[in-house]
Amino acid sequence: MNAIETHGLTRDYGKVVAVKDLSLSVKPGTVYGFLGPNGAGKSTTIHMLMGFIKPTSGSASVMGYDIKTQHYEIRKITGYLPERPAFYDDMSGRGNLEYFGKLIGIEDVEERALELLKLVGLEGRGEDRVKAYSHGMRQRLGIAIALLGNPKLLILDEPTTGLDPQGSHDIRELIKKLKGENVTIFLSSHILHEVQEVSDVVGIIKDGRLIVEQSISEFLRSMEGGKSIVQVTASNFDDSHVELLKKIKGVCGVSRNDGRVEVVVDDPALAEDINIALVNAGCRVRGLTEVMPTLEDAFLKVTADSKEEA
């Protein structure tokens, strides 16, 4: 059973089609990066999954439950961090956790609250009023609240938007930690490198349509037309070395800037052949690494392609 499955999910707001014929699936135990620019339809999709709004057409299930008829069950087993989580600002972080925990009937709520404060790195600040919390602390408290019921699925709607680099880093580390505990995570984001860092699969949504759904590594490779790039650092690289590399079978291109050379290859295993050829030709190779194109490059490319088709 998939953790999330949607079939032709569509939602109109009058003339605006916020989500259009969306079909995606999220495997249990994975982090699914749901990536798209502002207004793409990410929050609308999540609101349908949680049963806050009804689809205009199409269907979906969350942990096997139907979003149209079983949203009570869905909300019970799914942790959800809204785009703008709301708290009781005059209460402490611990107070908020205990309050929301009691609402959903958590046993030993005091103990659970302390455990969660620790998990999200708010121990020591649990007694402070939420109104004194920074944006990053609020997001972490929001995640702690989402985790109260020990969910197997966590839906995070742009958890790092507006955070400083340290704050975003902390949230990504937390996502990795939760993944290690076998929580399935549906992560909506418009921040490309963060999805790349923590996700197994990326689904790219634009103008309400899913334009890509692939494993991150497959996706990045397909963007390069199946090619990989091997980056070579060497102190005495010259034109003769360029010619030498071009003769190796499977090398498709060589480009040079300063001490760095990028070799486009069919197969990253060719790094070894490249190294041997260069060293034999007297080249002092300092390093060889396979470089992945960033999701940002890839994202710009697919969104540009889909624009041309439209």
Ligand X SMILES: Nc1ncnc2c1ncn2[C@@H]1O[C@H](COP(=O)(O)OP(=O)(O)O)[C@@H](O)[C@H]1O
Residues that bind ligand X (CB under 6 A): 13, 16, 18, 36, 38-44
Q: Which is nearer to ligand X, 19 or 298 (CB)?
A: 19
Minimum Å distance from CB 37 to ligand X?
A: 7
What mask, x for binding Mg ion by CB under 5 A, covers residues 240 to 259? --------------------
Which residue, among 143, 50, 146, 137, has the nearest Cα to 106 in the 3D structure? Answer: 146
Chain position carrying tokens 């399935």: 184
Structure tokens given for 90 = 């005059």
CA dihedral 67, 68, 73, 79 (to 10 degrees): 40
Minimum Å distance from CB 188 to Mg ion?
A: 7
Show the CA angle centred on residue 92, arms to residues 104 and 180, nearest 5°: 60
Q: Which is nearer to ligand X, 67 or 263 (CB)?
A: 67
CA 91, CA 117: separation in Å to the nearest integer?
15
Minimum Å distance from CB 249 to ligand X?
A: 45
Q: How many residues bind Mg ion (CB under 5 A)?
A: 2
Q: Are 68 and 54 in contact (CB under 8 A)?
A: yes
Q: Which is nearer to ligand X, 42 or 94 (CB)?
A: 42
Structure tokens given for 151 = 């969910």
Minimum Å distance from CB 262 to Mg ion?
A: 37
Q: With binding defined as CB under 5 A, does residue 43 bind Mg ion? A: yes
User: Kind of pairing, strands 4-13 and 57-62?
Assistant: antiparallel
Q: Which is nearer to ligand X, 38 or 257 (CB)?
A: 38
Minimum Å distance from CB 51 to ligand X?
A: 16
Structure tokens given for 290 = 């396979």
For residue 212, the one-letter residue type is V
Minimum Å distance from CB 44 to ligand X?
A: 3
Q: Which is nearer to ligand X, 35 or 148 (CB)?
A: 35
| Interacting residues with Mg ion between 62 and 81 (CB under 5 A) | none
Candidate ranges 43-51, 139-147, 225-233, 236-244; the one touching Mg ion (CB under 5 A): 43-51
Q: Which is nearer to Mg ion, 45 or 196 (CB)?
A: 45
Q: Is 1 exposed, middle or buried (0-12, 13-18, 19+ CB in 10 A)?
A: exposed
CA 87, CA 131: separation in Å to the nearest integer?
9
List residues near Mg ion by CB under 5 A: 42-43
